[in-house]
Chain A
Amino acid sequence: MRLDLTILAPYLGFLGQGAALTAVICLLSLAGAVVLGMLVAIARTSQTVWIRRLAFIYVDVFRNIPFIVQLFFFYYGLPEIGIYIDAITTGVIALSIAGGAYASDAIRSGILAIDNGILEAAEVSGLSKRVTFTRIVLPIALRTSVRPLGSVLINMILTSSILSTITVNELTGQAKIVASDTFRPFEVYAVLLVVYAALTWLVSIGISRLHKRLNRDLASEAA
C-alpha cells in the first residue's frame, strides 16, 4: 500500500473547517470549564455543608463516567424528557461539564497553595472576603494553575473528537466524511494523527509561554 497524500488536496479546506470548529468548541468549552471549575472550587471551600457536598459529588461523578456516556445521555437521553439541544451546543456543554470537574481540581490546588501570610495581611487590613477572593486569591490561583488548566485544554482537544459520534463535524467528523468519500482511510487518518499531535504540541508550547509570562513576577515560580 502506498501513501498518496495528493488525493487529499481537494479536501484540505473541508478539513480546515473541521479543525476550526474543533478550535471554537474547545475554546468555548475551556471558558465554560474554567468558570464552572472556579465556582466549584469556591463551593468546595464553602461553609455550608450541602454546597460543599454537592461540589464534591459533581467532581467525583463526572470524573468517573466515560465521556461518551455523558455525551449520549445529553444528546440522546435528554430529548426523551423534552429537552432538545443542538449537537454543537450539546458538545460544548458536555465538554465544559466534564472539563469543569478537572479544572476545579486545578484551581482548588492553586487556591490552597496560597501563602497564609498573604491572606492574613489582607484580612487585617480589613479587606472583605469577597475582595480578598477576587483581587488576591483568584488572580494568584489562576496564574499558578495555568499548567494544569492547559492539560485540561489538551484533554479537551483530544476528547472533542468524540463529538463526531453525535454528528458534530469537527476535525474528526470531517475526516470521517473524507475517508468515506475517498475510500482512503489510511491517508486520511494518518493525516489526522499528525494534525492532532501537532495541535496539542502547539497548545502545550503556548501554555508554557503563558505560564512563564504570567508567573515571571511571582516570587515562588518565577522560573
Chain B
Amino acid sequence: MRPSSAWLRNHTYLVPLVLLVVAVALNYYFQPNFFQPRVLNGNLRVMLPLMVLAAGQALVIIAGGIDLSVGAMVSLVNVLLVTLVTRESGPPEVLLAVGAALLVGAAAGAVNGLCVAYLRLQPIVTTYATSFLFSGVALAVLPRPGGALPRALTTFYRSAPLGVPATAYGIALLLLLWVVLRRTRFVQYLYAVGGNAAAARASGVRVAFTRFLSYVTMGLFAALSAMMLTLSTGSGNSRLGDAMTLPSIVAVVLGGTRLAGGQGGVVGAVIGVAVLTIIRNLITFSNVPTWYQTLFDAVVILLALAGPGIVQLIRGRRA
C-alpha cells in the first residue's frame, strides 16, 4: 500500500531515516571498517550524549520554545559530577552525584521555564542569557579542567554486555522512554501548546505550566546527557558542553521537527544526531577544514527555516 500523506506526516522521521541510510552508505564508502564493532562503538559513544540532549530539545521545540542554554547546562552538570565523584568513589557517592545532577539540571531548566512561561520573556533571548549564567557557575565550580571517574564506570560505558555496546542499550532506552512519554497527557499538551496556544487554553490546558514543564524536562535531559558525556570523557571541563547547543537544534530540525512548534518528535531528533555525526565524520575524511561543519550546521538551520517557503514556492506553481 502506498503510504498516505497523513501517515507520512505523523511519521516525520521517515525522511531523516532515508538521509541516515545515505549518510551511512557514504561513510562506509570512505571507511570500509565502519561496521566493525570497535568503530561503531566509537561512533555511538559520541552520539549518545547528543541524542539525549536533542531529545530534550525536541520536546521544547514541539511546545513552541527553544533552549540555547542546553550546552551550558551540560557543562554545569559535568563539572558538578566530577567534583562530587573521584576515582575512588563508591556507589553511594555516585548515586548522590546522580541525584544532585538531576536536581541541578531540573533547577536550571526551571529558571528558564519561569522566565519563559511565567514572565513571558522571549525564549531565544532568555536561554541565551541563562547560558552565560550556567557557564559562569560551571567555571566557578571547576576553574581548571580535571577530575576523574571510578574506572569501573568508564569501562562499563565502553563495554558491550551480550555483545551489544552499552551505548546501544542507552539509545534503545531513550527511544523506549519516548514511546512511554508519547502516551502521556503531558506530551499531548506539548503538541497542543506548540500547535495553537490559544486553542489549547480554551480547551483547558494549563499553557504556562506546560511550557514551564517542557523546560524542566529539558533540564533533566541535559543532566542525563551530561552523565553520558562524563562517562565518555571521564573528566570535567567547564566548557565541555558548549559546542553541543547548535548541533542539538540542527539534529531536531534534521529530524523533521518544525521550529514553529506543534510537530515532530524524538525519533527524528535521534536519527538527526546520527546523520549529523556521520556527516562530521565525512567532513573529517575529506580533509576539509572543520569550519565546514559549522557552515553545514548553519545551512541546515537556514534550510529548515526557509523550507516551508521553498516547498510552497515549488508547489505553488503546480498545486
A pairs with B: no
Residues of B within 8 A of A (CB): none
